[in-house]
Amino acid sequence: MPGRVEILYQDDDILLINKPSGLLSLSGKNPLNWDSVHYRLVNGQSATQTKKATPAFAEAKLPHRLDLGTSGIMVVGLNPAASKSLNQQFQARTVKKRYLAMLAGWWIRTAAKSLRP
């Protein structure tokens, strides 16, 4: 089972969360794919021996997704007005995103090709 969704920042309008690798952003149509960031935010996460329970955010909406195998910070709208604003910003591409790849192995310089145009 993937790690917990960690809340990094919270105010009345948004959450910033750390999505663990191996967890869907949104639940899938297949009943076996119910566990997701959105599901855990809407329903809350139970306490463990080392972590306290997280509250349920009934109106939580995700304006963007990260792939199943990707971990990273996500922004979440906590009310309809915030969700609408975030959706508009992502659609207009005014949100700056940064990606950092962490790889295992050795870099072979002679075999490397730039993917930039």
Q: Which residues are catalytic?
A: 67
C-alpha of 110 from chain center: 35
